[in-house]
Structure formats: structure tokens, C-alpha cells
Amino acid sequence: MNLTYIAVLASMRAAKGEPKPFDMLRAAIKESEESEESEESEESEEDVVKLSAAEIAILYRHFMPKTARAAAGVFDASWVARAVAGTTEPKEHFRHVYSDGRRLMATDKHRVHILDGVNSPKGYYTIHGDPVNFREQYPDVDRVIPLREGSQEWTITKAELVACVIDSGMKGKSYSLAYKLPSGHKVLKKYFDEAMNGLDSVAYYGVASDEYDNDNPICIRDGDHTAVVMPMLT
């Protein structure tokens, strides 16, 4: 079976916007098998279909391994990577994890995850830990971390968060729900849950917010990890 031929068929379907890669792959395999049954002649070098860079990119986007989800209560590189922006983000800074030589960090411009005490060489990394040849300066994420001085602190449990769930007003399964926290902040449920990472309770701090002033970020800082979540504008 010509796997290159299968890959090209799958990439052609992906380019047309068909959303189910495994359906595409099954269809490509079927077409390949039917083609082999109808052609008994030996395959010449000219018959081999080669992938272009664009087709490889399409296949990689559809079939690449998903980001490993950090184990509940474990704050490691996979937890940092949860804050990386998606592949549609135009600025490359936000599509990778960054190390400043002592910390790993990631941001999608709506939240920040930082892990201290890391000895990775300075530079950019994929969500799977592979170095990236990109040398632009990383955004100064420390600027968005609220100061403890002048802030209030709140503690909330997973059980209490259930009563805080509201409609976010956004489309998409991952972004349709939000929390209205005791501090008055409205934050995406997905972002706060991933910052909390399965802990039974968490303490966060920031400046109390209300319906007229909801642009103050909140911060979860405990031991070697820091998470900042920007509130939703109401």
C-alpha cells in the first residue's frame, strides 16, 4: 500500500475543510486499496506522489500528538504548555513555550502559566519540548502579574466553583462557560480550571472587581508555579 498516496488524499480532503481526519484517512486507505486492485502493473518512480511543504503542514496539523494534559495537582512543563496559543495565532511568540533560563512560561494573551526552578536553556520550545529556531524577544509577562501589595486574597474550593458557573456568552464548547468568582471577576471556566489543575481548593489574589470595573487580572501563585488569568469584559 502506497502510504504517500494515502497521505496526499488525506491532505487534499483537509485542504477542502473536511473536519474529521480519521474519516479522511479511512477513505484514503479505501481508495488506495481499490486503486491497487485495478492496477496490476509495477509502480514506477513516476507513480510516486510526493508531498509538498503545504500538504505536510496540513497533515501535521490534523494528526500531530495532542498536548499531554498535566496530571491533577502536578505543575510541570505540560501544565505550562496548556497556556500556549493555538495554531491560528499569527504571532509565533504565543504559539510556543519559552524558557528564560530559570523559568518556563507560556501565554496566549489571555492567561499566563509560569514554572520556576527550570534549567532549560534560554529559548523557545514546542509544546512537546523540542527546541524552536525562533529568536525574537519574548513578551514581558511579569508586567501582568498583580502585585500582592494592595491586593485582596480569596480562597475557593472545587465544590464552591460549581455555584459560580455562568454562561460566558461566547461560542464554542470550550469557551461557553465562565465563573463569576467571589471577588467579582468573570473568567473563562476553561482558563481557571487549567490554572487550578485539579486542586481541591486554591487561593488567588487581585483587586476586587465589579460590573463596572472588570479588567483587573487575578493571580494564583503557590510554590514554584504562577498562573495569571485575565477577566472577561462584561
Residues 91, 25 within the same domain: no
On whether residue 192 sits in a domain, the answer given is: yes
Q: CB within 8 A of 137, min separation 6: which ones?
A: none
The pLDDT score that the predictor gives to residue 173 is: 78
Please give the tally of structural domains in the chain. 3
C-alpha of 55 from chain center: 23
The pLDDT score that the predictor gives to residue 97 is: 97
On whether residue 234 sits in a domain, the answer given is: no
The pLDDT score that the predictor gives to residue 72 is: 76
Which residues span the domain enclosing 127? Answer: 77-144
Residues 97, 139 within the same domain: yes
pLDDT digits (tens, 9 = 90+) for 95-107: 999 999 999 999 9
Please identify, among 33, 63, 93, the residue that sits at the C-terminal boundary of a domain. Answer: 63
C-alpha of 224 from chain center: 21
Residue 177, burial from CB neighbour count under 10 angstroms (0-12, 13-18, 19+): middle
For residues 212 and 205, is the Cβ–Cβ distance under 8 A? no
Residues 225, 161 within the same domain: yes
Please identify, among 103, 127, 144, the residue that sits at the C-terminal boundary of a domain. Answer: 144
On whether residue 70 sits in a domain, the answer given is: no
The pLDDT score that the predictor gives to residue 19 is: 47
Residues 52, 99 within the same domain: no
What residues does 116 pair with on adjacent strands? 103
Residues 136, 170 within the same domain: no
On whether residue 21 sits in a domain, the answer given is: yes
Percent of all residues in the chain with a pLDDT value above 70, rounded to a whole number: 68
Residues 206, 176 within the same domain: yes
Residues 219, 162 within the same domain: yes
Residues 192, 208 within the same domain: yes
Average pLDDT along the chain, 234 residues, taken 10 residues at a time: 50 51 56 58 55 58 56 89 95 96 96 95 95 94 92 96 95 89 94 96 90 78 95 79
On whether residue 92 sits in a domain, the answer given is: yes
The pLDDT score that the predictor gives to residue 171 is: 84
On whether residue 176 sits in a domain, the answer given is: yes
pLDDT digits (tens, 9 = 90+) for 8-37: 555 555 555 544 555 555 565 566 556 655
Q: What is the pTM of this model?
A: 0.71
Residues 139, 159 within the same domain: no
Please identify, among 144, 172, 198, the residue that sits at the C-terminal boundary of a domain. Answer: 144
On whether residue 199 sits in a domain, the answer given is: yes
